[in-house]
Structure 1
């Protein structure tokens, strides 16, 4: 694959934790191209693979043919939600949805040869994963207004049609469901149950009076005229629990009730204003990069009060544009979470475009935000996201009207800036940086230094430095001197 060329100007903008519209669009196009190539690789692997359940190869061909029909249909959003630039048809919208990425990787993992030959369980799981293409194709065709009739399978009593909703079957287990679509209406038929009729509507979700049907939901776009933001609590591949590794300390995915959705909507409603307070570019990058929200359960908070809950958020490299998060309690928290996590999204996409360093996976670097040693790439990711947060809260502090909000923002800025200052030597001193990686890290340093033009009040700075010193002392007692830091 030939990646697009990233200009020095774009690299410098990303080094400032920013990104102009052209730079962000380049990252998006590259990630979309990679997704389509992964899908091509999956189809080729299915054609060539011996490890396939009976009939799986022919069914994959049929499902892909239905997707191709949907791809030739009217652009997504005609008469309804505007189409985002990365998805011009219902089929592209489905295939480029973030949570298709984990599904493709799951299928490719299942198709790899393994020592000792395939087990019956592995073949069964692979067949189940490959069958998800049928649900994707049906959802795309329904959105495109194409009449069709297919037989799908509800796994463990649930049939999920991405962007439309999910059907809970009358019987448990793996249940065949016939799906017939015509004139914007789907009929879902199963044995020993009344037919469920679903009305396909513009935007996100399809609606039915049947209690067995649960529609997909979305939040309004961050700005007027931009697409709805899927709040995806239905997709079977949305969490690390589905056959993949655990990601950081994330809790598992959760299903929202009406009260939960209202609370998400309340926090989301004010998020754009807070993002704008921290810089118009923060709002612009959220609009450009964020494609769906995946609700996570509130993780328990460690400490003496076990009744309290903490919060968590994360991204998955293979799910470009997805934010996995427990419910942010306030718009300010939501905005800070977006700033933090979208830096990981940007940096991962940048790393796919060019090689920033040759460092290995050895975990030996000190990061004030983690109790454990970090590999070089993990340190780079952490510095990048914390530098963006320091910038964000400095801008919020300079623009805040209420003294309490101003002091809170200065406190957060001072903490993040002090953390970055303590971690930067581990990046700068590395001999493993490439030429462009060195320019990128130098830009991080320059961005950090420019923040000194508008320093936080001295009290906040002193407390932040004392905090980082205490964390470093504890870390050194546990792990010894960190790479890139002098012995003391």
Structure 2
């Protein structure tokens, strides 16, 4: 750990600042700090703290091995930062399950499936990786994201073009060992991080290449928001079909509270779908950050609230997150409807707007009526109501509104049959 930290400090002294792999100028800093501020370092830190905490169990040999397994990743982070900074070094690193991942550079599939060490040397932008029982691997560090090698065991890190033409590349990380969604019930048995083949990368590129235009259609602030906050994409497997005879496969996406700036998603079917996904998920990112800075409510974790977009009861905090993200989608699709040139696109956008707005309208009373809101939380919820009301200026066509309200009513009736009266609903 001391040696790794010294290497990281040496990389941190390299100026001028700037790791072009980071899409936000706010994070234009030394290569060392860029690596430490990368979204997927957060889950690694969480696992280390968990291994050090009392919940890890007694301080026995098994626990020591587990902690050592987590801390070994720090050496890879330091080596990657030093390589990016142009620092010459020689270190011995420990792979994980037969793979040594060097964040932002790539991954080496080792000769064995265990944790036999890999000796890594770097000088003049060229890395040499040596492992027992295998041929030496030479790797050339590239600008931005990735490192090139002819060795079959080496997989370079991959990035999509910048969201904007003059923007830095967007990492599409299917290598990092800490990208998995440990314990996240939203994705349990539905979708999980995956590695992409060439066809998968092409599908991502096709959807990504039109995403900026779709975001702009929904308001210029949505593009600014994505450029500022979005720093890493993690591909997920396709979720299973809802029915065996379903014509299409759905999508799955999510964020992780400890991985600020990362968006996890299955392959986007269209730029329009992915633009909406970005709007939705970045709302969760923002509200999670705000909730870390301010206490918005004192409500407990009890799952009791009706959310029209979910079949199960939600805790108050989950309802707040859902309303915030769905309100943004209602705004996004309203703007798309008002700017769409083709009648079919306009009708689709109005339908989506009406659906999300009706869902928010059904959930807002539970937020507004809560006695658990703090002063800051009350101001926040009041602004949600004001934003919802401002949409009345450009209402959706009557037919879309009627169908959306009927869908919410049906969802409420089904929820009531399963879970009892909806808290705070006048009919109940």
Q: Could you tell me the TM-score, scaled by structure 1's length?
A: 0.85
Partner of 1:146: 87
- Counterpart of 1:163? 104
Match of 1:338 in 2: 278
Matched, 1:84 2:25: yes
The secondary structure found in structure 2 opposite 1:131 is: helix
> Does residue 1:360 correspond to 2:335, yes or no?
no
1:474-485 pair list within 5 angstroms: 474-485=414-425
Aligned residues of 1:107 and 1:126 also touching (Cα < 8 A): yes
Contact 2:41 2:259 in 1 (8 A): yes
Change in CA separation of 1:319 and 1:81 when aligned onto 2, cut-off 3 Å: closer
Q: 1:108 to 1:409 in 2, by over 3 A?
A: same
Counterpart of 2:26 in 1: which secondary structure? coil
Pair 1:246-2:184 in alignment = yes
Aligned pair partner of 2:161 in 217, 220, 227: 220
Q: Does 1:188 align with 2:129?
A: yes
Structure 2 unaligned residues grouped into runs of 5+: none
How many pairs were matched up? 426
Are 2:372 and 1:393 equivalent residues in the alignment? no
User: Is this contact kept in 1: 2:8–2:82, CA < 8 A?
Assistant: yes
Question: Quick check: 1:108 aligned with 2:108?
Answer: no
1:178 corresponds to: 119
Structure 1: runs of 5 or more not aligned? 1-59
The structure showing larger relative contact order (alpha-carbon pairs under 8 Å, at least 6 residues apart) is 1
- Tell me the C-alpha RMSD between the 2 structures: 1.6
Partner of residue 118, structure 1:
59
- With 129-138 and 63-72 compared, the bigger mean Cα shift is at 63-72
Match of 2:120, SS state, is: strand
Tell me the distance in 1 between the aligned counterparts of 2:73 and 2:399: 56
CA deviation after TM superposition for structure 1 residue 141, in Å: 0.1
Q: Partner of 1:291 in structure 2?
A: 231
- In 2, are the aligned partners of 1:169 and 1:212 still within 8 Å (CA)? yes
Which whole-Å CA distance do the structure 1 matches of 2:158 and 2:60 have between them? Answer: 38
Please state whether the residue corresponding to 1:105 is helix, strand or coil: helix
Aligned to 1:95: 36
Matched, 1:423 2:363: yes
How many Å separate the matches in 2 of 1:368 and 1:472?
7
Structure 2-normalised TM-score?
0.96
Q: Aligned to 2:311, which of 345, 362, 371?
A: 371
| 1:299-314 equivalence runs, <5 A | 299-305=239-245, 308-314=248-254
Please give the alpha-carbon distance, in whole angstroms, between the structure 2 residues aligned to 1:81 and 1:313. 22
Specify which of 276, 284, 288 is matched with residue 348 of structure 1: 288
State the 1:340 CA deviation.
0.2
1:51-62, aligned counterparts within 5 Å? 60-62=1-3
Mean Cα deviation higher: 248-257 or 108-117: 108-117
- 1:39 alignment counterpart: none
* SS of residue paired to 2:305: coil
Preserved contact between residue 51 and residue 63 of structure 2 (Cα < 8 Å): yes
- Mapped contact 1:82–1:225 kept (Cα < 8 A): no
- Superposed displacement of residue 376, structure 1: 0.4
Matches within 5 A, 1:21-40: none
Superposition deviation, residue 408 in structure 1: 0.3
**8 Å CA contact retained: 1:364, 1:483:** yes
Q: Distance between the aligned counterparts of 1:437 and 1:484, measured in 2?
A: 19
